[in-house]
Structure 1
């Protein structure tokens, strides 16, 4: 993925972060996922007083893409705090593994980010392939 594409994806994640509903953690997060055809879907975290009912930005963005019929993805960008690189939580890593998102971009800004492969952040992931083993 080219640097300009990465920056564009990060800009979309920053834009989505503005819509975060995070009154409990006070930690807004935005995400932008790029489908195989280049379409970008965004999401933000949405908290709930009943914490398990909350939804992370990454799953929100992927959910929008899935609802639009997408199943093939190139990358996802995640931006939370400008002070640190926001990494996907365990549940989000499992969802990223389900759809085999190959590139995870964790940014502080459009120009300050780190790139990870799915295998780096979630080695030995449980996938549908595991269900096929006897």
Structure 2
């Protein structure tokens, strides 16, 4: 019988299977490289309206790194955040097993933090992978997706539908 992970992402999700025993932690050199990649990606940001540049780099379990940036639009709600952009890029190329993401912006005094939509998209691919929130000097704060989005709703919750005593319409 499998041991459950005691968090609300509270059990081992389908995406997290295999991460508990063989969770791959990045070396300091890998962390530095991932952060560098996110800062380079920020340079490609298309943000003519907010002027708020964001870059992201995601690393897959097999070591592949994808990068992306935010892309704004005159119709504001059509803009895409860097985090969602890089995840979509990786998924569109067949990669879904992420171990870490680094997020970069031009914020100097605070660590960049992903919006709620980006947190939920990251959650789609598991709770236990690492998130590096950075500043312009490349200092960082390391968290997990679960720490950014506690008690989250994810794919496994859809298979746990437990509705009883639904009155029938006569």
TM-score by length of 1: 0.95
Q: Does 2:50 correspond to 1:25?
A: yes
Query: 56, 78, 84: which one pairs with 1:53?
Result: 78
Deviation at 1:99, TM superposition (A): 0.8
Count of residues in Structure 1 that have an aligned counterpart in Structure 2: 134
CA RMSD of aligned residues (A): 1.2
Identify the residue that residue 38 of structure 1 maps to in structure 2.
Answer: 63
Counterpart residue number, 2:123 = 97
The answer for unaligned runs of 5 or more in structure 1 is none
User: Can you list the C-alpha shifts for 1:40-74, whole angstroms capped at 9, x where unaligned?
Assistant: 00000000111110000011111111011001000
Q: Is the 8 A contact 2:55 2:69 kept in 1?
A: yes
Cα distance change, pair 100–127 in 1 and its aligned pair in 2 (3 A)? same
- For the pair shown, the structure with the greater C-alpha radius of gyration is 2
| Runs of 5+ consecutive residues of structure 2 not aligned to the other structure | 1-25, 163-170
Q: Which runs of 4+ in 1 moved over 6 A?
A: none
Matches of 1:82 and 1:113 in 2, distance apart? 12
Write 1 or 2 for the structure with the bigger share of helix: 1
3-state SS of 2:146 partner: helix
Q: In 2, Cα distance between the equivalents of 1:64 and 1:22?
A: 19
